[in-house]
A and B are shown apart, each in its own frame.
Chain A
Amino acid sequence: MADFDTPEYRKYRAIPELTEGVMAESSPFIAKEVHQEPLGYPGELVDNWEQAAKDKMEDLLGRYRGLQVYLDSCVKCGACTDKCHYYLGTTDPKNMPVGRQDLLRSVYRRYFTFAGKYFPKLVGAKDLTKEVLDDWYSYFHQCSQCRRCSVYCPYGIDTAEISMAAREILDSVGIGQKYCNEIIGKVFKIGNNLGLPRRALKDTLEDLEEEIEEETGLPVKLPLDKKGADILLVTPSADFFAEPHIDGLIGYAKVFHEAGVNWTLSSHASEAGNFGMFIGSYENMQDVAMRVRQAAEDLGVKRIVHGECGHAWRIAYSFWNTLIGPWDFLDQNYPIPQHICEFTWDLIQNDKLKFDKSENDHRVMTFHDSCNVARATRMGDKPGGQFEIPRNVIKAVCNNYVEMDPETTKEGTYCCGGGGGLLTDDLMEIRVKGALPRMEALNEVVEEQGVTNMAAICAICKSQFTKVLPYYKMPMDMIVSVHQLVGDALILTGSEEALAAAEESDEE
């Protein structure tokens, strides 16, 4: 299938011995001038890049407390060394969280600390050379910013913050990543990562309406740019065309229909994903997010509901209020923004939705906690709601549910392997290898408990698993959207199914 080997499942999940340099050649395509320019970055490596990189580092150190504290505080205790899925899958020591951080930290020490200026060898400080820059480009694009390491670090050092800073420095000297930067450009120009124009989006949604009507006999609508709607749904654009994402979108539409709410999508903000975070750029992240606020004001909505997406939910939950708040024009009686799982779970708790759980009886489900939902956001009122609410929703619509190894779920969940701007074909090797720990845990419940499907609430997870499951000899359609399960089991009022159920209860 490719010019690399899919890693073998480890016996007893043993921590592998390290092999230096095995992933040094893994680098994504470099952005061209046309991808760099709309984001405000130079089109190619600038002449004085050493100085420019140092200046940028100094700028970031002054702007981000986390970066400053994390570069100073690491004691090299080794607690994080076996926590990254990319290390476990590749055994390259520069994929250990601290190994990755040290690529930046050694340069920080050289130019910004007393010990590194005068005793570089003693403290492992390094000059910024072209080789170091190449290592940055390579290895900071082998981090999915999943934050698993930050759970286990005694000082909470978050490699995601270091990777973001490193990518911002690289962008500022002219070496951007094509995948992320091209996509951000598409959002600025068209409104979504896929570059799906309004007309095409409209057609897609109309096709979906027809499809749902054929299935249910009911006019379930997917409105676009409907002024005066109460709810704006912001969802990853993959939901409009990719499998299994689109089945999730159908699920949201059915839930909205059954709840009887007046909702709409926006073509201007037809993207929940925000790759500005992946490249560590506050300004670009704000520009991408601003489209949501603009759409909300323009359409005059009262609430914002957010679709199934991981990093996007992080930005929406944790950053929107900062970047594009305050939300004083929205209805304060609801969480701003509200996750679709929170929305559905509220309805379930209030007995507003009826399900025929047997519709999902052909499935034995498990749930993959998406990294950024798990470790960077919350749902509901209580810490940990981001774990409980999606599970509650699944259990409300499925009879067969199984947990994977607890070491690999909830706050300890492993990234799918494709997050943080790595979901591109030029990084296939790191994606496949990085999926190893999740594939091991999944394979275990498949073999021992007969699991047939895994649900996720992230567009990246869904695309990544679709692609990598076959490498691990599992079918690509094992991965499903949570709201696909909801949509399949939901009994819509007035549908034939509902009438049949009513007749049955009359006969009794």
Chain B
Amino acid sequence: MSVAFAILLYIAAAIFLGGLFLRVRKYWRTPAPLKIPTMPAPTTQAGVVMRMGREVVLFESLFKSNKWTWVFGWMFHLSLLLAFFRHLRYSMSPDNILWPLINNPIVQSFGKYAGYAMLIGLLGLLARRIFVDRVRYISAPSDYLMLLLILIIAATGMSMSFIAHTDIVTLKMFVLGLLRFDIQPLPSSLLLQVHLATVAILMIIFPISKLLHAPGVFFSPTRNQVDNAREKRHIVPWAAKLDANRGYKTKDQLVKE
């Protein structure tokens, strides 16, 4: 069982990292030929960093749009972040220099109770998906399953925190073992196995699903472009090539026929 889970997690991690790398590389390499920031937009690069920061940290546009979706969505994502930090304790030895940042009462207890906020957020999003006719109309089965998957992850994780503790010391040995390719025994707990399996599934589907919104937002031209079209000429390689092919470079050919 331990070996099976180790293999599953290795595969999941490989697909997650490899898939994400390929996708980000695709976004990176695909040019944005025209200036299309949603205005009013910042006129400096620093301003764009601020705009993106507000978008990623506060979900600014969603806040403008719909307060309920914002509340549930923001709660969920923030709790996810806190839970992630809390989990770092299981993959870090106490002599790591970051250990005090992770293993302190604030991160650990916030991370622990964030589970409740995560559940509320997810259930709120699920309820909107089911009960608001417009959101129901746009939902595919995968949209419900995605919420269900994360709900299972959250529920099993919280159960191990609040109801049936798993052997956390052995688990940590297993995780630290994974990190140095030395497979150690995994505690035999059904909750833990479901938790790990669903996390693995989440990692596997990440690069082939709508979870790509996470890297996607950083590449969104409406959000990451500077409003300086008049001041600075923006031209991508394929457009420059097109210009050359069409003879737009030479002034002679520009003269009215």
Contacts and interface: CB of A to CB of B under 8 A. Distances in A.
Interface of A: 15, 17-18, 20, 61-66, 68-70, 72-83, 93, 96, 98-99, 102, 113-115, 119, 121-124, 147, 150-158, 161, 268, 282-283, 286, 290, 293-295, 297-298, 317-319, 321-322, 324-326, 335-337, 374-378, 381-384, 386-387, 411
Contact of B137 (A18, A283, A293, A336): A18
Nearest to B214: A73
Contacts of B141: 121-124
A71 B91 CA distance: 35
Contacts of A297: 251, 254-255
26 contacts: A61-B30, A65-B27, A68-B26, A72-B210, A76-B139, A76-B143, A77-B62, A77-B73, A78-B135, A80-B65, A113-B208, A115-B208, A115-B209, A122-B141, A124-B142, A152-B65, A154-B217, A155-B216, A282-B239, A290-B254, A293-B254, A295-B256, A322-B33, A374-B39, A383-B42, A384-B40
B236 to A, nearest CB: 9
Q: Which of A61, A79, A93, A96 has the most chain B CB atoms closer than 10 A to its own CB? A: A79
A78 B34 contact: no
Nearest to A123: B142
A122 B33 contact: no
A342 to B, nearest CB: 11
A324 B234 CA distance: 11
A294 B141 CA distance: 54
Given A73-B220, A155-B213, A319-B34, 19 more contacts: A65-B221, A66-B221, A77-B135, A79-B61, A79-B62, A81-B135, A96-B138, A113-B208, A151-B64, A153-B61, A156-B55, A156-B220, A156-B222, A298-B256, A318-B34, A318-B35, A321-B233, A322-B35, A411-B39
A377 B42 CA distance: 12
Contacts of A17: 133
Interface string B24-45: 0011001111111011111100
B32 A65 contact: yes
B137 to A, nearest CB: 5
A153 B40 CA distance: 15
Q: Which of A150, A294, A335 has the most chain B CB atoms closer than 10 A to its own CB? A: A150
Q: Which of A78, A317, A337, A383 has the most chain B CB atoms closer than 10 A to its own CB? A: A78
Interface string B5-33: 00000000000000000010011001111
Contact of B39 (A72, A80, A152, A376): A376
Interface in B126-140: 128-129, 132-135, 137-140
Interface of B: 23, 26-27, 30-36, 38-43, 55, 59, 61-62, 64-66, 69, 73, 125, 128-129, 132-135, 137-143, 145, 205, 208-210, 212-213, 216-217, 219-223, 227, 229-230, 232-235, 238-239, 242, 246, 248, 251, 254-256
A245 B188 CA distance: 78
A15 B142 CA distance: 26
B230 A321 contact: yes
A65 B217 contact: no
Contacts of A383: 39-43, 227
B140 A317 contact: no
B137 A63 contact: no
Nearest to A120: B140
A319 B35 CA distance: 7
B229 A319 contact: yes
Nearest to A372: B39
Contact of B217 (A73, A113, A295, A386): A73
Contacts of A70: 220
Nearest to B223: A156
Contact of A79 (B65, B222, B232, B255): B65
Contact of A74 (B27, B213, B233): B213
A157 B220 contact: yes
A378 B216 contact: no
A384 B42 CA distance: 10
Contacts of A378: 39-41, 43, 227
Contacts of A77: 62, 69, 73, 125, 135
Given A64-B32, A78-B69, A411-B40, A155 B227 contact: no
Contacts of A63: 30-31, 33, 238
Contacts of B239: 282, 322
B30 A65 contact: yes
A83 B65 contact: yes
A181 to B, nearest CB: 20
A152 B61 contact: yes
A125 to B, nearest CB: 8
Nearest to A87: B134
B66 A322 contact: no
Cβ-closest 8 pairs across A and B: A124-B140, A73-B216, A383-B40, A156-B222, A152-B65, A78-B135, A81-B134, A79-B65
A99 B256 CA distance: 45
B233 A81 contact: no
B36 A376 contact: yes
B138 A102 contact: yes
B250 to A, nearest CB: 12
A147 B26 CA distance: 25
A93 B234 CA distance: 37
Given A64-B33, A76-B135, A93-B137, A156 B217 contact: yes
A294 B39 contact: no
A497 to B, nearest CB: 37
Contact of B36 (A124, A158, A387): A158
A477 B47 CA distance: 42
Contacts of A115: 142, 205, 208-209
Nearest to A106: B140
Contact of A73 (B137, B210, B235): B210
A115 B210 CA distance: 10
B134 A282 contact: no
A68 B235 CA distance: 19
Given A65-B221, A154-B59, A326-B233, A76 B65 contact: no
B208 A66 contact: no
A446 B219 CA distance: 43
B138 A99 contact: yes
A156 B61 CA distance: 8
Contact of A72 (B42, B145, B212): B212
